[in-house]
Structure 1
Amino acid sequence: MKKDWKYIFYLGGAVLVYVAFNLLAPRQLDWRVTYYHKHKIPFGGHALNTLVHDQFADRDIRQNNETLYELYDSVQKPVNLLIVASSFSPGDEEVKALLKNVALGGHALISTGGMYGKLPDTLGIEITNYFYEDGHTQYITDATDSTHLRFSNAGLPDTTHYLYPRKNMGERIAVTNDSLDMRVAAVNDLGMIVTVTIPWGKGKIILNSTPMIFTNAYMLSGENNRFAATTLSYLPDNDLLWTEFYELGRMEARTPLRYILMTPTLRWAYFITILALLLFILFEAKRRQRTIPIIKPVANTTLEFVHTIGDLYYQHGDHKDIAEKLIMYWLEQVRTRYWLSTTKLDNAFTEALIRKSGKPAEDVRALVNVIRLIQSKPDVALDRLIDLNDRIEKFTLSSL
């Protein structure tokens, strides 16, 4: 019992040391780019979530992880759409649903660093990284300096230059179809377009190529939140659908285990529990060995049967019957070992047995004569039975 408590103390001490180490160790920043509205990490979207609820305070805001086709299939009237993603590549059916909603009077703000598929071809634009266009460096060679973004729309009195790290603002919008009624809303310090508005039917599509402006790191520094708020203000005062599918996917927990593994605290608790159970099983298996059953050897029942039969014949006193069985047993040995016929125990049989067995002629003749004598008598005396047994044993043992 003391050994069991010792192992428990060791295990408990190890768990306490691990927990203390994780609590006291300095936390490392999570630099993942998620744009997720609940993430407070530098490149999460918690600040944007606050801004959205402030600007559309009296409107219905739906945040989800559904595709455009799924979203617009469930709405009854044109609404605002917000998408912030590193790249945006909707399918054909999703593009049709988007353009249909906008044509009926909806508005869509799409902020992405890359757009692929049918939508950019339809709108006549493309979003490219101006650092490495066409496989070689363009415009600038140092991506570590700063850039500024500013609004170029004459209708906006804001002439502020908003500073950002250039390495995170390296995308620009290029126009590939001049026939569209496209208006430039914002540019960078090199005069490259970063935000445009495209009328489509009764609504508008607002495209922005710098999604990092909507992250916590830049919305909470200086006055940069004003640039994000002004960009968001291109959406009219209406109900808002904010889908994060194009950055995070479905992101739902379909099983309890998946939910546990997606939550850091629950995940560590789950792993520690599994480890504790494995250690417990290991220690218990070493302490409690399975009892090995004692297997009794198989009894020699044949020997017991022989003794029983022998006692029965001895008590019955039928010496003639015993003698006949001894003779039958010996004759069977002669037939199988020497291949002799035992139908007639005459002189020819005796001489043949002497030749094949190699036994002394006198012993063989005496044994055959005793057998003939016993077979001719109705009864056999005990001394005659003993003499027969001795002669048979002598003949058999000398043959081995």
Structure 2
Amino acid sequence: MRLYLIGTATILILYLVAQYYKPKPTDWTPSYHRDDKIPFGLYILNHEKENIFPGTLVTTSRLAVYNTLKDKNFSNTTYLFIAGELKFDKLDYQELVKFMNKGNNVFIAAFDLGSVLNDTLKLETNNVFNAGDKPERINFVNPLLKSEEGYVFDKGLSNQYFSGIDSSRCTVLGKNSNGDINFVKYTFGKGALYILPNPQLLTNYSLLKPAGADYAAKALSYLPASKELIWDETFTLGKINNDDILSVLYKYDQLRWAYYISIFGLLIFVIYEMKRRQRIIPIILPLQNTSADFVYVVGKVYYQQRDNSDIAQKKINYFLDHIRLTYRLKTIHPDEELISSLILKSEADEETVRQLFNLIHVIGTGIKVTDSQLIELNKLIEKFYNQSK
């Protein structure tokens, strides 16, 4: 057992060392986190926020939109959402509308805007399918921002567009080479809502290229200068109370696999110990039927008391009760009418029935019941049961 534990610990340590020193492959996970340096992280955008939003105080929020804005008097503020998927509920959307009506602005960059936004603004999104993996060309509508050659991005960064949109309610800010809208502005009171359905245009992979950096800077330049910017992290890191130990383990591959190996080793240990130390399962005998013993004991008690009258009276009572329940006959007065009706309904032998009732009459009028009378009574009752229906 000791050698088993030592061997397991040695294998675990060697695996952790090998995982620590092996070259790390490129992580293409779209985290959209401002501290991630992976291709689809937002480290560059976060690092350049002072140049993109000069003089603006940037804060982060991991609370629901409703909790962030409810009963807060924000002014000249921008709310920034960059994520793969947004899940606003109706209360969140109502607070965003109040927030914008006061002159604040909201900028959303996400593939999936959620059912509330899509249904309210009547938006539908789709992806451009390019045969041969040909990049899609996009551009701004504003002549002052429009590039002569347009912006081309690989890996499908700019392929998503609005396939369904009410253009009468919004201002079109950008389109792709097919004329499909991919950047819009909605006006709410004194503020505005900007929606970009391609969040990866703001990630490290895009901003490392001059065209990507230029496009992101121009897209964000639509936001007016503000004194504060709220950078939402609810849809990338989760709500502030959702952190636990397992989330840290699953975040890093080495810790995650070390956790899996530990669990697997623990299961092997439990199975091994269970086989070696399992107690012998006792043999449980089936329950015995003691009815015959009970009858024997009761019969022996009656035999020792030798109270034939009591036994005979009980047998007569049971017999008469059987007649009442089976043939629906009154047995208060065992007269000729009862005997005739019983013979007719039971179809038993008439001689047997008359002998039985004669004996019942003798026992009922007598003082003492002999052994022979009791035996004869029992025989006649059993004979009746066998003959009757």
Q: TM-score, normalised by structure 2?
A: 0.60
Partner of 2:205: 217
- For 1:88 and 1:246, the matched residues in 2 are separated by 6
Answer yes or no: is the 8 Å Cα contact 1:194–1:208 preserved in 2: yes
User: Greater CA deviation, 165-174 or 81-90?
Assistant: 165-174
Partner of 1:37: 34
- For 2:111 and 2:182, the matched residues in 1 are separated by 10
Assess, with a 3 A threshold, how the Cα gap between structure 1 residues 56 and 14 changes in structure 2: closer, same or farther.
same
Partner of 1:208: 196
Partner of 1:313: none
**How do 1:190-209 residues align onto structure 2 when only pairs under 5 Å count?**
190-209=178-197
Q: Say which SS state the counterpart of residue 223 (structure 1) adopts.
A: helix
Q: Say which SS state the counterpart of residue 48 (structure 2) adopts.
A: helix
**How do 1:159-238 residues align onto structure 2 when only pairs under 5 Å count?**
159=148, 161-165=150-154, 167-174=156-163, 176-180=165-169, 182-238=170-226
Assess, with a 3 A threshold, how the Cα gap between structure 1 residues 15 and 179 changes in structure 2: closer, same or farther.
closer
Unaligned runs of 5+ in 2: 278-389
Answer yes or no: is the 8 Å Cα contact 2:125–2:164 preserved in 1: no
- For 2:156 and 2:91, the matched residues in 1 are separated by 34
- For 2:155 and 2:251, the matched residues in 1 are separated by 33
- For 1:144 and 1:254, the matched residues in 2 are separated by 39
- For 2:127 and 2:259, the matched residues in 1 are separated by 46
Q: TM-score, normalised by structure 1?
A: 0.58
**How do 1:7-26 residues align onto structure 2 when only pairs under 5 Å count?**
10=7, 13-26=10-23
Deviation digits for residues 104-155 of structure 1 (CA, Å, limit 9, x no counterpart): 10011111223343434443x4131144xxxxxxxx5516111122111134
Assess, with a 3 A threshold, how the Cα gap between structure 1 residues 253 and 232 changes in structure 2: closer, same or farther.
same
Could you tell me the percent identity over the aligned residues? Answer: 25
Answer yes or no: is the 8 Å Cα contact 1:153–1:184 preserved in 2: no
Number of residue pairs aligned between Structure 1 and Structure 2: 276
Deviation digits for residues 18-65 of structure 1 (CA, Å, limit 9, x no counterpart): 234213433222222221212222222222222334323532212222
2:18 is equivalent to residue 27 of structure 1: no
2:231 is equivalent to residue 242 of structure 1: yes
Deviation digits for residues 294-342 of structure 1 (CA, Å, limit 9, x no counterpart): xxxxxxxxxxxxxxxxxxxxxxxxxxxxxxxxxxxxxxxxxxxxxxxxx
Match of 1:148 among 126, 137, 147: 137
Q: Say which SS state the counterpart of residue 156 (structure 2) adopts.
A: helix
Assess, with a 3 A threshold, how the Cα gap between structure 1 residues 278 and 215 changes in structure 2: closer, same or farther.
same
Match of 1:87 among 85, 98, 104: 85
Partner of 1:105: 103
- For 2:264 and 2:71, the matched residues in 1 are separated by 46
- For 2:164 and 2:201, the matched residues in 1 are separated by 22
Q: Say which SS state the counterpart of residue 39 (structure 1) adopts.
A: coil
Answer yes or no: is the 8 Å Cα contact 2:136–2:177 preserved in 1: yes
- For 1:211 and 1:152, the matched residues in 2 are separated by 19
Partner of 2:62: 65
- For 2:239 and 2:153, the matched residues in 1 are separated by 31
Answer yes or no: is the 8 Å Cα contact 2:158–2:198 preserved in 1: yes
Assess, with a 3 A threshold, how the Cα gap between structure 1 residues 176 and 29 changes in structure 2: closer, same or farther.
closer
Shift of 1:218: 1.3
Assess, with a 3 A threshold, how the Cα gap between structure 1 residues 148 and 257 changes in structure 2: closer, same or farther.
closer
- For 1:253 and 1:89, the matched residues in 2 are separated by 16
- For 1:217 and 1:157, the matched residues in 2 are separated by 22
Aligned-residue CA RMSD in angstroms? 3.6
Assess, with a 3 A threshold, how the Cα gap between structure 1 residues 9 and 69 changes in structure 2: closer, same or farther.
closer
Partner of 2:126: 129
